[in-house]
Amino acid sequence: MGVSPGFRTHRHRKAGVNALRLIGFIFVKGLLSLMAAMEKIVSLCKRRGFLFQSSEIYGGLQGFWDYGPLGVELKRNLKDAWWRDMCSGHNEMVQPAGAPSTFDMVGLDSTIIMHPQIWKCSGHYDMFHDYMVDCRESKKRYRHDQLRGRWVSHPDATATAKIFVTTMAEADEEQAEIQHRALKYFKLRPKDAESLVYDGPSTTLDTVDEFSIVLGPDAKTLGTLTEPREFNLMFKTTIGALGGEEDYAFLRPETAQGIFVNFKNVLDSSRISVPFGIAQVGKSFRNEITPRNFTFRSREFEQMEIEFFCHPNSSQDWYRYWRDRRLAWYQTLGLSRESLLMREHAAEELAHYSVGTADIEYAFPFLPKGEYGELEGIAHRGDFDLRSHMEGKLDPSTRPMVVELDEFGKPRHRGSGRDLTYRDDITGERFTPHVIEPSAGADRGALAFLCEAYHEDEAPDENGKLQTRVVMKLHPRLAPIKAAVFPLVKKDGMPELAQEIYAELKRDLAVFYDEKGAVGRRYRRQDEAGTPYCITVDTESLTTKTVTIRDRDTLEQTRVKIDELAAELKRRISS
Ligand code: GAP
């Protein structure tokens, strides 16, 4: 598929991963430990109530995930941190480091279902698709750019000499599965595995031209896969009781369009001027053909998007500002620089009006070593969106872009006809603002922070014996519980004092009270939940009115006055 108009296609988003996947052979041993790490994270998420499969008691629903008691707090904290750092906490009178000038930021909450014409003008109706192939034998459907396989031959084979054996197995099981399927196809036994001849490393089906020699992932015979076909990713629904073709609508596949169509409303109702950004957090829906890798590719997910409107002449500077600022943001909340990658799109990947698009990618543990998955995209969208909503869907292949026409010479998709240009009050200049779009996924963000947080180390138990401990080193701003309050023992007035402290702290902070079991075990539970601080009320507390604060990461215990506890915790959380 060619260059997309206002959004990045799945193909583009996968390009980084695919390019890297092709480099060299898979290092199975390293991968095994990576997958083991992912399995441990997935298991902890379920055990401790971060994430559950949607509709689990009915067998689950692929591509849909529920956030449990800890998960909902983590994701809410992430979205709140984003909203505060990008929008509500922004000071329009101060020029941030690296920004070309001061700027305004405001928020928006638009609907999930919008006028269907919006998706026609945005380009999603015509171009928001993946290519998929169907298997005539298994009746299953696969994504053309995600189905992986290897060229394999066998010297004694009488029929086709070389075939492309595909598999849907996860990366760590891919080679074993390909070998198993190739042996079966050539009617060989496991002991003959050495005689198989591989031509090149594993690669995706979209590198293969000849489908008649492809063995589909669930097929026994060759050549059962159809040629790739377009599959639109938008979920369709109907409005009202009649439900005819006239009443169809779509669940939004991105929050961005809600911002573009409200550009004028926001401008006219707030006393802001270009440059300014509109931020929005909300659900988006994509009927992904192959949702996989835990929450990474879901069918229902949340986005945190900014559409930043600026003068065309300064748009390159704003693009660079947002790209660098967004990368730095992930680091301030705890993602290490080594696990992040800033991938600038190559010139041929860009829409022609765009001066740049960059993806911030993260080394998710389910990916082979050296591969990264997209966390956020920062795109320069030019004036495509505002003009398309004014004039009608533009043809992205024209320069300068003109409205796409149908066979009768009429606009293929009519715009709103509203004036979405901007007039600068000082210079009197009228122009269509250019847009820089930092578009992040809240679920992918939460997953990256969970992966980064997972650690295993050793800590002494209540008998002083070193034991392996699982600890989620979440940044205190993201941690679902900020502090847990424990009485050392359940007697001598300790529970009463601990409950008083708990009630006091609970007014401002997400805190947890626990008096059950050995204190060492209570610490462990909080370590797994990612709670940064544990407050213990002991014998000394009763006389000196002090408590200990145990730091999750350093295991250091410091004694503080109960009167100063709340302030001390807030200081630690915000630092
Ligand atoms: N408005 C531009 C836009 O939507 P995108 O690259 O398609 O761009 C932006 O999506 C972000 O949304 C991605 O970087 C990712 O974090 C998140 N995202 C996209 N599709 C997703 C999916 N199927 N599951 C989870 N997150 C997804």
For ligand 1, atom 7: residue with the closest CA: 8
What pLDDT, on a 0 to 100 scale, did the predictor assign at position 465? Answer: 85
The structure tokens listed for 370 are 């050296």
d(CA 441, ligand 1 centre) in Å:
6
d(CA 440, ligand 1 centre) in Å:
7
d(CA 400, ligand 1 centre) in Å:
28
Q: What is the mean pLDDT of residues 365-385?
A: 93
For ligand 1, atom 2: residue with the closest CA: 7
User: In degrees to the nearest 10, what's the CA dihedral of 285, 286, 290, 295?
Assistant: -30
d(CA 110, ligand 1 centre) in Å:
18
d(CA 158, ligand 1 centre) in Å:
47
d(CA 407, ligand 1 centre) in Å:
34
Question: Per-residue pLDDT for 26 more than 80?
Answer: no
pLDDT in tens, 147-163: 999 999 998 766 557 99
User: 499 CB contacts (<8 Å, ≥6 apart)?
Assistant: 485, 513
What pLDDT, on a 0 to 100 scale, did the predictor assign at position 524? Answer: 94
Q: Do residues 448 and 364 touch, judged by C-beta distance below 8 A?
A: yes
Q: What is the DSSP string of 463-510?
A: TS-EEEEEEE---TTT-S-SEEEEESSS-TTHHHHHHHHHHHHHTTS-
What pLDDT, on a 0 to 100 scale, did the predictor assign at position 2? Answer: 28
pLDDT in tens, 415-424: 999 999 999 9
Q: What is the mean pLDDT of residues 303-316?
A: 97
For ligand 1, atom 5: residue with the closest CA: 8
For ligand 1, atom 15: residue with the closest CA: 441
> Comparing 171 with 498, which gets the higher pLDDT?
498
- Separation between Cα atoms, residue 221 and residue 210, nearest integer Å: 15
Which of 75, 439, 447, 449, when mutated, tests ligand 1's pocket best, judged by the most ligand atoms within 8 Å of its CB?
Answer: 439
For ligand 1, atom 4: residue with the closest CA: 254
For ligand 1, atom 9: residue with the closest CA: 439
Question: Per-residue pLDDT for 556 more than 70?
Answer: yes
What pLDDT, on a 0 to 100 scale, did the predictor assign at position 160? Answer: 59
* CA dihedral (301, 305, 440, 22) positive or negative: positive
User: Residue 221 has what DSSP assignment?
Assistant: S
pLDDT in tens, 454-489: 999 988 777 778 889 999 999 999 999 999 999 999
Ligand 1 atom closest to Cα of 254?
4
What pLDDT, on a 0 to 100 scale, did the predictor assign at position 515? Answer: 97
pLDDT in tens, 336-347: 999 999 999 998
Question: Per-residue pLDDT for 441 more than 50?
Answer: yes
Q: What is the mean pLDDT of residues 323-350?
A: 95
- Separation between Cα atoms, residue 79 and residue 59, nearest integer Å: 30
Q: What percent of the chain has pLDDT over 70?
A: 93
Residues framing ligand 1 (Cβ under 6 A): 7-8, 13, 254, 256, 286, 288, 297-298, 301, 303, 305, 374-377, 437, 439-441, 443-444
What pLDDT, on a 0 to 100 scale, did the predictor assign at position 159? Answer: 57
Phi first, then psi, for residue 27 (nearest 5°) are -90, 95
For ligand 1, atom 20: residue with the closest CA: 297
Q: What is the mean pLDDT of the chain?
A: 91
Question: Per-residue pLDDT for 12 more than 60?
Answer: no
User: Residue 23 has what DSSP assignment?
Assistant: S
pLDDT in tens, 525-549: 999 999 999 999 999 999 999 999 9
Ligand 1 atom closest to Cα of 286?
23
> Comparing 88 with 6, which gets the higher pLDDT?
88
pLDDT in tens, 231-282: 999 999 999 877 777 789 999 999 999 999 999 999 999 989 999 999 999 9
Looking at 333-489, list the stretches that DSSP marks H as alpha helix, in order from N- to C-terminal side.
384-391, 442-453
Ligand 1 atom closest to Cα of 256?
1
d(CA 47, ligand 1 centre) in Å:
27
Number of C-beta neighbours around residue 244 at 10 A: 8
What pLDDT, on a 0 to 100 scale, did the predictor assign at position 34? Answer: 54
What pLDDT, on a 0 to 100 scale, did the predictor assign at position 17? Answer: 37
Which of 9, 301, 381, when mutated, tests ligand 1's pocket best, judged by the most ligand atoms within 8 Å of its CB?
Answer: 301
Integer-rounded Cα radius of gyration of the chain = 27
Question: Per-residue pLDDT for 29 more than 50?
Answer: no
Find the range with the poorest average confidence among 11-20, 499-508, 515-524: 11-20
d(CA 302, ligand 1 centre) in Å:
8
User: 205 CB contacts (<8 Å, ≥6 apart)?
Assistant: 133, 142, 144, 145, 147, 148, 149, 164, 166, 214, 225
Question: Per-residue pLDDT for 391 more than 90?
Answer: yes
For ligand 1, atom 10: residue with the closest CA: 439
Number of C-beta neighbours around residue 20 at 10 A: 18
Strand partners, 434: 310
Looking at 22-143, list the stretches that DSSP marks H as alpha helix, in order from N- to C-terminal side.
28-47, 69-83, 116-122, 124-127
Q: What is the mean pLDDT of residues 447-453?
A: 98
What pLDDT, on a 0 to 100 scale, did the predictor assign at position 70? Answer: 98
Strand partners, 113: 251
132: left (phi over 0), alpha (psi -120 to 50) or beta: beta
Ligand 1 atom closest to Cα of 445?
16
Question: Per-residue pLDDT for 23 more than 80?
Answer: no
Tally DSSP H helices, then E strands, for the chain.
Answer: 15, 27
CA dist 160 → 164, 179, 212, 215, 266 (Å): 11, 17, 10, 11, 64
What pLDDT, on a 0 to 100 scale, did the predictor assign at position 33? Answer: 57
What pLDDT, on a 0 to 100 scale, did the predictor assign at position 403? Answer: 96
What pLDDT, on a 0 to 100 scale, did the predictor assign at position 158? Answer: 64
For ligand 1, atom 19: residue with the closest CA: 441
State the number of CA atoms in the 13 A half-sphere of 395 facing the CB.
Answer: 12
What pLDDT, on a 0 to 100 scale, did the predictor assign at position 9? Answer: 39
Q: Do residues 362 and 7 touch, judged by C-beta distance below 8 A?
A: no
Question: Per-residue pLDDT for 21 more than 80?
Answer: no
Question: Per-residue pLDDT for 30 more than 80?
Answer: no
Cis amide prior to 532 (ω within 30 degrees): no
